[in-house]
Amino acid sequence: MSPKKNKSKPPRKPRRAAKSRSKPARKTRPRVARHVPAGAGGHLLPQAELSRIAERIFEFSKADETEVHIDAVSDALTRFANNTIHQNVAEQVLSVSVRTVFDGRTARATTNQTDDESLRRVVAASSALARSQPRNPDLLPMPGPQKQAKVERYFEATAEATPLDRARAIQRVVAMASDDDLTAAGIFSTGATQSALANSKGLFATYEQTRAEFSVTMMREDSSGWAKANVPDIDAIIPDALAERAMQKAAASHVPREIEPGRYTVILEPAAVLDLVGSLFYDFAGTAVLDKRSCLTERVGKQLLGENITLWDDVFHPLQSGAPYDGEGIPRQKVVLIERGVPRNLVYSRATAKKMKAKPTGHGLALPNEWGEAPVNLVFEGGNSSLEEMIASTGRGILVTRLWYIREVDPYEKVLTGMTRDGTFLVENGQVVCGIRNMRFNQSILEMLAHVERMGPAVRAAGEEAFEMVVPAMKVHNFHFTEVTKF
């Protein structure tokens, strides 16, 4: 994703898929690298090659301390619209980022070449930049070797998926749409990533992961439906089932009714929950609280949300993804952030922990940065109510498939505004009775999480406004819709 610059929060994880409709795509195609790493196309760099690159950089560096990040990406995407595949693109990128330290001054430079001359140049560039920086009194010595836990999130079937594999799945989905007089659009992407982090103090950590994502929107003249999945294992994605769900939503929301804005009981499917609660992730950063940029400022330890809300950060959760170490190579820890509605803990980088007299939690971002740290593996504790049970228990309310164009209005009360999309329904007397015109909301997320009546089991959810998290569907009362949209 490529959000607007905002000094109150760090950059979000990039979204690889562009919006399928209405909202302009922020990134229409992957970058094509000038240098293709050895072993691209789903195959990883040998461990010996990662070590060689790092060692050569250390040999060329005259800095007090030197750190290197190596990232290799092999990614491919097939995009379809109007029931036709219209784009098939791939990228293979290698990035070598070098950070040097001279007497408390630090800076970073990056190259995509691994020959000796290129490595000399990137070390020289980093060194020149570092020497020109003001001294940072908060800069800590680089950490030494760390005991790194392993997680298995690399699947050969995902890494080796071909354009033909993706095209066959899309062909079935397009046929389903055509048979029902619907228009299908979306993406199917697969890829593998590899990273290594090493420093001159002896730290060396590596991580590899695959990723598969399928998103589909089914459209008719006055309605649409949507479904999406993002997982490391391509075999866990069933495009036909996702397409069927999107088709059902498009059919059920046909000839939408307009209802008055106001406060309603709302049933939020996991994708909608994700894109709302995802806005909270940086508020748990120690730096954000220290700088008074967080909605948790002066609220840690106080009852803030409903007692049924418990949230933690855990990179080792079976539905999560990502490296088990942070931007400095410190092992990530599981941290309980909210317990029964009470914010209990924050996450800390090493430097922030020292300032706040806490212990590092392994959530620091790569240095230098102005953000400090952030939890990026959020897990909400769910409940045992199915979506059908939530609907059946509702006298009058609104069922929301997903949200989009979400923006922050009030950072301290965490008021967000945005719109429903691709399947919004009126619920009356325990039944979905019709589709409705999309609605704009203006809602405090803190207030919302104090009004949760029921929750479903927590699942790995994929949305469009936040990176993937583990969240449940939620039934919430008194959700504020402010106006009806024109579509």
Contacts of 22 (CB under 8 A, 6+ apart): 421, 487
Asked if residue 149 has pLDDT above 50, the reply is: yes
Structure confidence by residue, pLDDT tens digits, 436-485: 999 999 999 999 999 999 999 999 999 999 999 999 999 999 999 999 98
User: Which domains, from first to last, does the chain contain?
Assistant: 47-240 (3.30.2290.10), 252-277+382-484 (no CATH)
Asked if residue 43 has pLDDT above 90, the reply is: no
pLDDT at 214: 98
Q: Measure the CA angle with vertex 415, ends 445 and 378; round to 5°.
A: 40
pLDDT at 231: 97
Mean predicted lDDT score pLDDT of the chain: 92
pLDDT at 9: 42
Asked if residue 342 has pLDDT above 70, the reply is: yes
In degrees and rounded to multiples of 5, residue 280 shows phi and psi of -85, -15
**What is the C-alpha separation between 331 and 360, in angstroms, rounded?**
9
pLDDT at 486: 76
Quickly tell me which residue has 């993804």 as its tokens: 321
- Res. 33 pLDDT band, cuts 50 70 90: very low
Asked if residue 372 has pLDDT above 80, the reply is: yes
pLDDT at 16: 37
For residue 169, which of 245, 235, 74 has the smallest C-alpha distance?
235
**What is the C-alpha separation between 350 and 361, in angstroms, rounded?**
8
Is the pTM higher than 0.85? yes
pLDDT at 250: 97
The predicted model gives 256-268 an average pLDDT of 97
In degrees and rounded to multiples of 5, residue 450 shows phi and psi of -95, -5
pLDDT at 32: 29
pLDDT at 44: 79
Please state, in angstroms and as integers, the Cα–Cα distance from residue 116 to each residue in 56, 57, 67, 85, 110, following that order: 7, 9, 17, 42, 14
pLDDT at 90: 95
In degrees and rounded to multiples of 5, residue 118 shows phi and psi of -65, -40
Residue 156's identity, in one-letter code, is E
The length of the chain is 487
**What is the C-alpha separation between 337 and 403, in angstroms, rounded?**
25
pLDDT at 5: 37
**What is the C-alpha separation between 313 and 379, in angstroms, rounded?**
6
The predicted model gives 335-344 an average pLDDT of 98
Structure confidence by residue, pLDDT tens digits, 304-337: 999 999 999 999 999 999 999 999 999 999 999 9
Structure confidence by residue, pLDDT tens digits, 197-238: 999 999 999 999 999 999 999 999 999 999 999 999 999 999
